[in-house]
Structure 1
């Protein structure tokens, strides 16, 4: 971004900052807590952007003065001093640009949300279900390390006590930030408990990570729902309840089906099912928008095939490889115990590096405004 472009962008930020300050004194905004939080957050963002842009402009002016001093300095100590001043000015300018670019890195609007995590056995039969259970325990232990709360919404065990499907809510201020890259097919290479001849098998389980949607964000027409109730069942289909407390909700326009049976109360199961449905519909709408813009990555889970893996867990070599960032760690045993921070930090660092590589002018034009905030899903 050249100086005239920066000056024009700074003027735009100043004008918006003034408008936001006026909005903060609007009684309608003050009466709406959600709107007030949004506008207050934007005011802080704009104030920081204006301050950083002005710092760049001051640093550029200082460098221009230093260049003049070097151009007109004589020989000896005066010239050396002028060159030293120019070096300081150029360093300060680089730092000012870095600070501005950091502010322009797009912020994830879902940061701070709780997470709905779904794990399913995929390819590999019963071994896939046993691996799904390992993943469930890994994330549960990671949550304990991070001080997050975990609530299991739905759990279906397989015949060998693996996990056919589990849905849980992970609650913590940084849960979304640190779990959002976990979505996708996870591949395991090991000798299964079901293998009698010691052969290594390859299986997979899928992980879906959704930011938990608030009720006000997703409007669902009751006429679009088919609600079925039935008795809860355990592995093998045996009944575990004598009342029709389990709930299956089908969203007719999309065909999304959510079942809950862990609670003894039909009302509680319905509430949990609706929470999961809202989050899935929210993600579906986001993916539709992303597909139209052709700007973001594919859906997390794909077909769950072993060849679509985002990560491989090799038990023989005690190795975990994340294929998206080509990172291999020989600490599988510790990772399964919940020691995920090194993997997560590397994924976040790669995300940030990609964002910082975005041209500054493009990043500036992409900064959100209150009117461009995520719209409610209907």
Structure 2
């Protein structure tokens, strides 16, 4: 993942940026442009924990110094001075953690794509299970979801489904939680189509893209080839008598996006452009990561999307994430949207990897 320059900024620079952002947000003219106001609001929310931790550390250091000074005259202050001094290392660690270079996409909304893999109908049914899992997790988080495109199968599975996930609040960013979900998800269970009761293994792929603002990715209309065709339903049957489905090809990169979920050609075109912008932004950021020799790349951040990332074992009610050796026996709850534990484990591994490559105390950051 690409990291912008503010990620490696010093504490003083971040404090100054916080003050500038706070001033900008108090200007009514800024809120006339909703895109700018939203971007500043997200950045303000991202900086707030750093400012809070810094102020708390400064206060405790000052109080400890005062208590130590008073202890020279009154021994009753000695215990208070020791208690305050014992808090300083913990607060320094917290600030150091907050100063880890940030993923600039953490504040973004998400385009989530789930595609059935090998395994035929069983894989498509599993893709449907993953879709419901993410929709229920989004509901728990208070996020908004919108199905942009959905290719269903006769048995009620999903060959491919694309979902936009958006946060209603800058304090609950989507990418920072869902960015670890990309990869191959494997299921082990007895398929509904299996008459002998044998356990089968199949898989579905998940692709998570930060949703791009129009200003972030400029698309030249001359670079697009747009084809329209008649949409089809499960089993290839026609469900629309008009050419409302849209296929957009970005000629310079060869990126192709197809949409047929909406009855309106215009709506499908707009949805396809949203996904196209997200894919082009992800491509540009991956290229930037490859070009940046000093980019931070933890084991979690650089995991090959072609690798198996997680296994869902129904017989044992077990979920296992292979990147961080996470294992739990509450698969039924996870599939009902209880994803926080595994996401927290991945986030913690990411932070620890970044901390292990960091040096120097928080006070000198």
Q: TM-score over 0.5 for the alignment?
A: yes
The TM-score range, normalised by the shorter chain, is: 0.7 to 0.9
Structure 1 partner of 2:251: 252
User: What SS does the aligned partner of 1:110 have?
Assistant: helix
Let me know the Cα RMSD of the aligned residues: 3.8
Aligned pair count reads 345
- 1:69-115 CA distance string (max 9 Å, x none): 7xxx9xxx97xx89757734531432442343243134443344322
Q: 1:51/1:225 Cα in 2 relative to 1: closer, same or farther (>3 Å)? A: same
Residue 20 of structure 1 and its aligned partner are, at CA, apart by 7.4
Structure 1 partner of 2:220: 221
Gaps of 5+ in 2: 1-9
Higher mean C-alpha displacement, 114-123 vs 143-152: 143-152
Q: 1:242/1:50 Cα in 2 relative to 1: closer, same or farther (>3 Å)? A: same
Within 5 Å, which residues of 2 pair with 1:148-297? 148-173=143-168, 174=172, 175-293=174-292, 295-296=296-297
Structure 2 partner of 1:4: none
Contact 1:59–1:93 (CA under 8 A) maintained in structure 2:
no
Structure 2 partner of 1:302: 305
Distance in 2 between the 1:146 and 1:45 partners?
A: 20
User: What SS does the aligned partner of 1:140 have?
Assistant: helix
Q: 1:198/1:365 Cα in 2 relative to 1: closer, same or farther (>3 Å)? A: farther
Gaps of 5+ in 1: 1-8, 367-378
Q: 1:107/1:56 Cα in 2 relative to 1: closer, same or farther (>3 Å)? A: farther
Residue 123 of structure 1 and its aligned partner are, at CA, apart by 2.2
- 1:31-62 CA distance string (max 9 Å, x none): 87766763983986785576467458647967
Contact 1:112–1:172 (CA under 8 A) maintained in structure 2:
no
Structure 2 partner of 1:339: 338
User: What SS does the aligned partner of 2:104 have?
Assistant: coil
User: Is structure 2 residue 121 aligned with structure 1 residue 126?
Assistant: yes
Residue 15 of structure 1 and its aligned partner are, at CA, apart by 7.2
Q: 1:317/1:280 Cα in 2 relative to 1: closer, same or farther (>3 Å)? A: same
Distance in 2 between the 1:195 and 1:14 partners?
A: 60
Larger radius of gyration: 1
User: What SS does the aligned partner of 1:289 have?
Assistant: helix
Distance in 1 between the 2:22 and 2:144 partners?
A: 37
Structure 2 partner of 1:376: none
Counterpart of 1:146 (choices 138, 141, 144) is: 141
Structure 2 partner of 1:370: none
Contact 2:67–2:77 (CA under 8 A) maintained in structure 1:
no
* TM-score, normalisation: structure 1: 0.76
Distance in 1 between the 2:22 and 2:196 partners?
A: 71
* TM-score, normalisation: structure 2: 0.78
Q: 1:331/1:48 Cα in 2 relative to 1: closer, same or farther (>3 Å)? A: closer
Q: 1:54/1:10 Cα in 2 relative to 1: closer, same or farther (>3 Å)? A: farther
Higher mean C-alpha displacement, 205-214 vs 271-280: 205-214
Q: 1:363/1:302 Cα in 2 relative to 1: closer, same or farther (>3 Å)? A: farther
Distance in 2 between the 1:279 and 1:16 partners?
A: 27
